[in-house]
């Protein structure tokens, strides 16, 4: 997920490290193959609804920068 703030639809905290006014783009990448499926993504989003605790379980990576090249 790509954004510039912590929250996404429904109040989920997808990137707890993001700050809206810092001029950076924030990318959240689900990197664990065990959750790289529909059920796993649903689990990560469920954790995001509970205060962004998915950020600390090692299944996602967070990248910040002025530019992101894909």
Domain boundaries, the chain: 2-65
In the prediction, which pLDDT does 12 show? 85
* CB burial of residue 14 (10 Å; 0-12, 13-18, 19+): buried
Q: What are the DSSP calls for the chain, one per residue?
A: -EESSSEEGGGEES-TT--TTSS-EEEEEE--GGG-SHHHHHHHHHHHHTTSGGGGSSSEEEEEES----
Across the range 40-62, mean pLDDT stands at: 82
Mean pLDDT of the chain: 84
pTM of the prediction?
A: 0.68
Confidence class for position 8, pLDDT limits 50, 70, 90: confident
């Amino acid at each position: 997920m790509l954004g510039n703030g912590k929250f996404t639809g429904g109040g989920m905290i997808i990137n707890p490290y993001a700050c809206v006014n810092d001029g950076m783009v924030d990318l959240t990448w689900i990197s664990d193959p065990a959750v790289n499926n529909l059920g796993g993504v649903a689990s990560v989003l469920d954790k995001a609804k509970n205060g962004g605790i998915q950020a600390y379980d090692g299944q996602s990576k967070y990248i910040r920068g002025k530019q992101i090249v894909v």
